[in-house]
Structure formats: C-alpha cells, structure tokens
C-alpha cells in the first residue's frame, strides 16, 4: 500500500480570533488560546503520519489539514513532508502497524469491531488504529476532539466500539425540498442539481456525521413519495451515496407501500401477491445497480394516510417480510416503523402499536428491525418509554428519537434533548428483572438481538447554521454520541460540544451547561406539566391549543388527551380506563397504577385527578399545575439572564442570535402559561395561587391567535 506521509510545517500565529461561523458546527477547530497551549500541541500536529490509501484516507488527510489550519489560525495550507522518522502521531489500520508495536496492541486489537478504534499513547507516539477505514476516520475525529477540548495526549488509552450497529439520521425531506416538521429552512438535498452537482454542504454534512459516528442516512420523508424509486431519482440518490461512502455513511430510502401501483399500474400492492413481490425484487435489484451498498428501506405503513398491508387484510409482518426478502440477497435491511395507529380503532391511541406488534413478535425476517418512537404517543415533551421496549424478545427493535423539535417549541426554543433521551434510555423495562434498561434493549444485550439500531429525525435544513437555533446543533451532536453509546455521560457530551463549538473558556462552559441542564424541565413546566400531553395547537403543533375540538379525527382533538371537566382532568389509563398501563411490567403497573405513587411527571398521563386533590407537594392539583407553569416561565427568564452574562465570552454574532431566540422563548413560555391557565381555569373555577402572574390578555386573545406563516421557513 502506498504510504501517504503527512508532516505539517506551520508558522504559528497565536492570536485569539473569534470563530463566529455557525456553519462549522462543532468542527470549528478553534485557534489555540495562548502560546503555551499552541506549543504543547504543535509538535504533534507538525508530525502526523497517515498510512494507507483509500477515499477514506483522503478525507482523513483533508480533515487533518482543516483542523490544523483552524488550530493555528493559518491562512496557508500546511506543507507535506515525506519523512516518516519524525512521526509523533501515527494513523493507520492494524495491518499497517509495525512489528515492534503490534504485540503490545494485540490484545486490544482483538477487541476491536469493524467500526471501532484505538487511540493510544505508546513509546512517545500517539497511535490511531482500527480494523477498517471507518474506524480509522472515527479514531481521527476522536483524536481531534481531544485537541479541540484541550485534553492531554500523553495519557491516551482509548478503545471504542459502537454499541449500536445502525446509527441513522432520518430526513423527513420531501422531493420539493420542504421538510415535514423541519424548522431550519428547506431540505439540503437539491434534487434539481443532483446528480451533477455535489454541493460542499453534502461533504460538510458527511464530515459532521462521521465525526459523531453516524453511519447511515435515510434521505426522504417517511410520508413517502414513490417517485424517489424511479431511475431519475435513483441516479441522484446514488450521487449522494457516492459522496457519503468515504465517510462510512450508507444511504437508505423510504419506500411507499403502494409504489408498484403508483409507478407501474399494478392493480394491487398486496404483500402476498406474487406479482407485487416480484415487482419489489426487480425494483430492489435496480436500486442496487445504482447504489451497490444501498442500506435498505425505511417504511411508514398504515398510519396517517400512508398505505400499508392493512389495506389488503395483511399484517405488518407480511408487509415488512416482503420487502425484507427483496433486499436480503444484497445484504439490505428493512426498518419498519411501529408508529401504526388508526383513528377508527376505538382503543386509546397510545395502546395501538403494542396491541398490533406484540402478537407479531418473532414473525419478522431476520433482516427486519422494527423502529419504535421513544414514547407511545408522539414525540411529546415528556412521555414514559414505549411499552414495546422490553416486550419483543424475538424481534429486534430500534429507537426513533426526534431531533427536530416538532412539539418542543420548534426552532426557537433552547431545550437540551439529551436530558430527555437519557431519561428514556435509562428507563427500566424490567423485562428481565431490574436493570433491563431501554439502552440494553437497543444495544442488543438484553434480548441478544442480531440487528441493533437507532434513528434520529433530522433537524437539519438550509439555514446558515444548519439547525435554526445554534444550540440545536448540540442535539444533533449528542444524538450521534448517544447512538454510538446509549449509556454515555451526557454531561461530558455537553461539555465537549460547548468547547468544540463555542469556546473552551471554563466560565462559559459552566454557565452554558447550567442552562442546558435546566432547559428540559423548564420547557416541560411551561408546556405540559404534571403529565399533560398533546395540548399543542392543531396541525403545526406550535404553541398552546388545549381547546381544539371537532375535526375529522377524535384523537386529533386535544380534549381527547386531557379530557378536562369541571371536576377533573387527565387520562385514565389504568384498568378503570383505557388500560394502556397493562402493557408495562408489573413493577410499573404497581407504581403507575396508583395516583398516590405515580410521579407527578406522569400523573395526568395515567390518571384523572380532581382539581382540589392534595398532591405529594402539599398543593392541590390546580395549584400545582399553575405553579409549574409559572416555574417554567421563570426558568426561561433565568436561562435568558444567565445567557446575558456570556456577552463577550463568545463571538458577538452567535451570542446575539441565541439572545434573540431566548427572548422569543420567554415570550412563548408566558404565552403557554397564560393560555393554558386561562383555558383550564374555566373548568377548575379556582383562582390562580399566589406567585402566579396574572395573564396579560383574556382567553379570546389566545383562541384567536394563529400562526400565519409556514413554520421554520
């Protein structure tokens, strides 16, 4: 193998210059803050040797160059020296390791998986090694992270393997470039220019994803358009796949279940019909002729107007297995979503996925993985974990998180989603006794799944900073880190992200992390305290709308979820009500079945409670709700005032951007509090407790308030 030897000579210009480019995400490679720090890393960065030759090696080399330019604030490209003897950083696969080093690393190498890496300080050198190229790229990013976060290199002894195999982003991007629930501009996929133009943004997208270990992307909306399966679009998707391949990222497509009818006029899409099966086999072979390493299909069926096997009296397993058989010869997989419900089904909506899928456990092909949302309803600010986790020992399940904030204030609210995700990932399913956490379901260890996966619905768009809110970049980042290891420490993730993205200044990191840590509970308080859920305004889901009534679907009337009356509020999901609670382990049934032992966070999720009922806090239910709304508003104001202290600590541009979004957040928190308390107050008839501010307007003002623009654009 040809050796690429890279030694970088650079003129160090140590100076503090604010990198104010949100576009660079956490790959800012901020200049070293003083001479001593620069001197410390200088030797290493001037003496890197990268061994091997592949498209991935080229992107590793390029990344090192970008990083070095950033760290040393250089205007000129670094030079290349062909002298290997000066290497202080050695990067190469295990096959390239020299014989004198190999024995010392052998036992660690034996523990490496396909995508894992070793980062180790040995005999005065930093060694980055892996079995394959993707691991080498991940290892290089890990080394760069050490430098970005200003960690010492001499103690390095890291061995990492991803705990989850499939680590995907799901784009809900339409072919006309609108994004379903996207709040940061349009889709970054410019179909019109593809396949001829590969925009730099696609490359930067791949860099960012690879830096956090994401290895797959489903590029189209699950509300699927069959057109993406036509040659014209396959050629475009193939161009993206080619661009992403060196970064270890595979492309997946959403499959519209009735595509055989839409594209080729078949009279049916019945999964048991041989003609339909044959159509999918041919279509799949065609896709692989464009994209030889195509990952497979992601399918939303029998849900919210999407066609599916129910149309033909077939099961979800029948539908998934038909597609699984088509991709199997090529090594592909099918991610079949469990978000299946029907407004005509008379049972509580949150029961329906479990009721449907649990009896199918073990009936799916071995290349099917069922993709389950974190909670049983729909990406609400707070839901208990989905009861399917722990209940499907014979069918691999993958998690679907929403990184985009459909129900959490959308693009302008600062909410650290890692806090919520951790709550879900560490929830105990009790499937095999205490400690059977959702994270263990996902990493396959609980049920010995052969296939493991996780998906995050992307929050990326054409906004200059990718995600609308600068801090929403952090959700993308932490999603990737938790996908790699769902048991990771989210405090460390947050600190690393802040240091890499904004500044290594310790005051800044401490204050910003303090805000992040409060942000989730703050949002839950001003939106849906005490277990309230789905009280967002109709259809766009932005802002409060607990009053929504009527409409073509019962479950889309908000009153369905809170069932407010003059006496009580909340949804009884115990055996006296919808009995959705029966889907959980006995430990949870015991705790959540009794309002006295149900944590207040889930109280109205599981119970109907009378307004004057005294709660564990000593407050009546009404007072508790009102005080929590107030606390949420105060929390948002506190976040704003903490942030103000950061003036001068980071670049002016991002400081002001975040400041103005925080002003919106405070205003909207007040709006949520006032609208909900005025609305529910009509039923409770109890005055607001002391300490809760009087609403600024009357209820009519809020009822008439409509968002009259397209969210996020």
Q: Please identify every residue annotated as catalytic.
A: 304, 378, 406
Task: State the minimum distance, in angstroms, from the CB of residue 303 to ligand GCW.
Answer: 6
DSSP string, 77-121: PPP----GGG-SEEE--GGGS-TTTHHHHHHHHHT--TT-EEEEE
Task: State the minimum distance, in angstroms, from the CB of residue 306 to ligand GCW.
Answer: 8
Which residues 388-407 are close enough to bind ligand GCW by CB under 6 A? 406
Between 690 and 710, CB nearer to ligand GCW? 710
State how beta strands 157-160 and 166-170 pair: unpaired
- The site for ligand GCW, by CB under 6 A, has a size of 11
What lies within 8 Å, CB to CB, of 431 at 6+ separation is: 390, 391, 393, 441, 446, 447, 585
d(CA 295, CA 254): 11
Residue recorded with tokens 């009936």: 363
181 binds ligand GCW (CB under 6 A): yes
572: left (phi over 0), alpha (psi -120 to 50) or beta: beta
DSSP string, 122-178: ETTEEEEEESSHHHHHHHHHHHHHHHHTT--STT-EEEE--S-SEEEEE--B-TTS-
Between 383 and 572, CB nearer to ligand GCW? 383
How open is the CA angle 361-358-373, to the nearest 5 degrees? 105
- Residue from 117, 336, 354, 379 in contact with ligand GCW (CB under 6 A): 379
Q: Are 334 and 370 in contact (CB under 8 A)?
A: no
Between 180 and 653, CB nearer to ligand GCW? 180
Between 304 and 507, CB nearer to ligand GCW? 304
Q: Are 398 and 453 in contact (CB under 8 A)?
A: yes
339 binds ligand GCW (CB under 6 A): yes
Residues 405-444: x where in contact with ligand GCW by CB under 6 A, - otherwise, as a string: -x--------------------------------------
307: which DSSP letter? -
Work out the burial of residue 388: count CB atoms within 10 Å of its CB; fewer than 13 is exposed, 13-18 middle, 19 or more buried: buried
d(CA 381, CA 185): 23
> φ and ψ at 255, to 5 degrees?
-110, 120
Q: Are 692 and 630 in contact (CB under 8 A)?
A: yes
Between 181 and 236, CB nearer to ligand GCW? 181
- Residue from 89, 222, 372, 639 in contact with ligand GCW (CB under 6 A): 222
Helix H or strand E encompassing 610 = strand 609-610
State the sign of the Cα–Cα–Cα–Cα dihedral 625, 628, 632, 633.
positive
513 binds ligand GCW (CB under 6 A): no
Beta bridge partner(s), residue 217: 169, 251
Task: State the minimum distance, in angstroms, from the CB of residue 180 to ligand GCW.
Answer: 5
Which residues 359-378 are close enough to bind ligand GCW by CB under 6 A? 378
State the sign of the Cα–Cα–Cα–Cα dihedral 523, 525, 530, 533.
negative
The upper half-sphere exposure of residue 454, i.e. CA atoms within 13 Å in the direction of its Cβ, equals 29
Task: State the minimum distance, in angstroms, from the CB of residue 351 to ligand GCW.
Answer: 17
Token duo for residue 69? 């330019």
- Measured from each CB, the residue nearest to ligand GCW is 378
Q: Are 699 and 678 in contact (CB under 8 A)?
A: yes
Between 270 and 406, CB nearer to ligand GCW? 406
Between 413 and 631, CB nearer to ligand GCW? 413
- Residue from 72, 117, 172, 186 in contact with ligand GCW (CB under 6 A): 172
Task: List the one residue out of 468, 462, 21, 456 whose CA is nearest residue 199.
Answer: 462
Task: State the minimum distance, in angstroms, from the CB of residue 222 to ligand GCW.
Answer: 5
Task: State the minimum distance, in angstroms, from the CB of residue 20 to ligand GCW.
Answer: 34
280 binds ligand GCW (CB under 6 A): no
Between 135 and 319, CB nearer to ligand GCW? 319
Task: List the one residue out of 450, 451, 424 whose CA is nearest residue 439.
Answer: 424
Which residues 148-167 are close enough to bind ligand GCW by CB under 6 A? none
300 binds ligand GCW (CB under 6 A): yes
Between 405 and 631, CB nearer to ligand GCW? 405
Helix H or strand E encompassing 251 = strand 250-254
Task: State the minimum distance, in angstroms, from the CB of residue 218 to ligand GCW.
Answer: 12
Between 338 and 516, CB nearer to ligand GCW? 338
Token duo for residue 447? 């049920």
Which residues 191-220 are close enough to bind ligand GCW by CB under 6 A? none
Between 300 and 562, CB nearer to ligand GCW? 300
Task: State the minimum distance, in angstroms, from the CB of residue 364 to ligand GCW.
Answer: 20
223 binds ligand GCW (CB under 6 A): yes
Task: State the minimum distance, in angstroms, from the CB of residue 181 to ligand GCW.
Answer: 5
624 binds ligand GCW (CB under 6 A): no
Which residues 303-322 are close enough to bind ligand GCW by CB under 6 A? 304
Q: Are 152 and 143 in contact (CB under 8 A)?
A: no
Task: State the minimum distance, in angstroms, from the CB of residue 533 to ligand GCW.
Answer: 12
349 binds ligand GCW (CB under 6 A): no
Token duo for residue 616? 């564990």
d(CA 411, CA 576): 39
555 binds ligand GCW (CB under 6 A): no
Task: List the one residue out of 251, 238, 229, 245 whose CA is nearest residue 175.
Answer: 229
Task: State the minimum distance, in angstroms, from the CB of residue 254 to ligand GCW.
Answer: 10
**Binding positions for ligand GCW, rule: CB under 6 A:** 172, 180-181, 222-223, 300, 304, 339, 378-379, 406
């Amino acid at each position: 193998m040809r050796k690429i030897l890279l030694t970088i000579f650079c003129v160090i210009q140590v100076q503090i210059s604010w990198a104010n480019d949100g576009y660079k995400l956490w790959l800012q490679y901020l200049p070293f803050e003083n001479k001593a720090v620069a001197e410390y890393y200088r030797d290493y960065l001037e003496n890197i040797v990268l061994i091997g030759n592949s498209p991935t090696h080229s992107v590793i080399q390029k990344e090192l160059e970008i990083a070095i330019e950033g760290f040393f604030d250089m205007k000129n490209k670094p030079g290349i020296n062909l002298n290997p003897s000066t290497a202080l950083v050695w990067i190469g696969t295990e096959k390239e390791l020299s014989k004198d080093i190999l024995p010392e690393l052998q036992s660690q190498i034996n523990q490496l998986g396909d995508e894992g890496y070793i980062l180790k300080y040995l005999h005065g050198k930093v060694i980055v090694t892996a079995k394959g190229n993707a691991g080498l790229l991940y290892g290089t990013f890990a080394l760069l992270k050490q430098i970005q976060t200003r960690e010492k290199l001499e103690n390095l002894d890291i061995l990492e393997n991803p705990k989850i195999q499939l680590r995907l982003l799901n784009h809900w991007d339409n072919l006309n470039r609108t994004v379903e629930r996207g709040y940061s501009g349009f889709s970054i996929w410019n179909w019109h220019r593809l396949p001829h133009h590969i925009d730099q943004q696609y490359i930067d997208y791949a860099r960012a994803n690879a830096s956090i270990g994401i290895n797959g992307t489903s590029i189209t909306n699950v509300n699927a358009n069959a057109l993406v399966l036509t040659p014209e679009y396959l050629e475009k998707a193939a161009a993206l796949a080619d661009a992403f391949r060196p970064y270890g990222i595979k492309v997946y497509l959403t499959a519209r279940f009735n595509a055989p009818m839409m594209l080729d006029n078949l009279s049916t899409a019945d999964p048991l019909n041989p003609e339909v099966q044959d159509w999918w086999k041919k279509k799949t072979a065609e896709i692989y002729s464009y994209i030889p390493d195509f990952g497979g299909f992601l399918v939303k069926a029998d849900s919210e107007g999407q066609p599916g096997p129910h149309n033909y009296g077939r099961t979800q397993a029948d539908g998934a297995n038909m597609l699984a058989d088509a991709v199997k010869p090529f090594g592909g997989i099918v991610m079949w979503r469990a978000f299946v419900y029907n407004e005509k089904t008379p049972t509580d909506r949150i029961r329906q996925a479990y009721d449907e899928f649990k009896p199918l456990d073990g009936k799916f092909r071995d290349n099917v993985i069922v993709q389950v949302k974190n909670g049983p309803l729909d990406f609400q600010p707070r839901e208990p974990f989905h009861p399917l986790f722990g209940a499907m020992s014979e069918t691999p399940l993958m998690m679907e998180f929403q990184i985009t904030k459909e129900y959490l204030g959308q693009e302008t609210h600062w909410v650290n989603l890692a806090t919520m995700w951790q709550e879900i990932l560490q929830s105990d399913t009790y499937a095999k006794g205490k400690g059977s956490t959702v994270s263990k379901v996902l990493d396959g260890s609980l049920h010995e799944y052969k296939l493991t996966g996780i998906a995050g619905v992307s929050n990326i768009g054409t906004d200059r900073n990718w995600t609308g809110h600068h801090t929403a970049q952090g959700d993308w980042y932490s999603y990737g880190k938790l996908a790699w290891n769902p048991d990771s420490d989210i405090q460390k993730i947050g600190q690393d992200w802040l240091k890499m993205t904004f500044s290594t200044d310790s005051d800044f990191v401490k204050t910003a992390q303090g805000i992040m840590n409060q942000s989730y509970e703050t949002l839950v308080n001003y939106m849906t305290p005490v277990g309230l859920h789905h009280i967002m305004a109709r259809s766009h889901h932005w802002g409060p709308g607990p009053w929504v009534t009527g409409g073509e679907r019962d479950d889309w009337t908000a009153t369905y979820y809170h069932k407010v009356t003059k006496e009580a509020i909340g949804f009884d999901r115990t055996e006296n009500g919808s009995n959705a609670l029966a889907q959980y382990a006995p430990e949870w049934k015991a705790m959540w079945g009794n309002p006295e032992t149900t944590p207040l966070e889930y109280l109205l999720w599981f119970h109907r409670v009378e307004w004057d009922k005294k709660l564990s806090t000593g407050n009546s239910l009404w007072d508790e709700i009102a005080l929590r709304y107030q606390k949420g508003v105060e929390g948002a104001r506190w976040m704003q005032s903490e942030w103000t202290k950061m003036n001068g600590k980071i670049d002016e541009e991002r400081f002001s951007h975040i400041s103005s979004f925080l002003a919106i957040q405070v205003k909207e928190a007040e709006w949520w509090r006032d609208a909900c308390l005025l609305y529910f107050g009509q039923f409770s008839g109890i005055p607001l407790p002391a300490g809760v501010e009087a609403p600024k307007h009357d209820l009519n003002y809020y009822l008439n308030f409509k968002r009259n623009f397209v969210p996020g654009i």
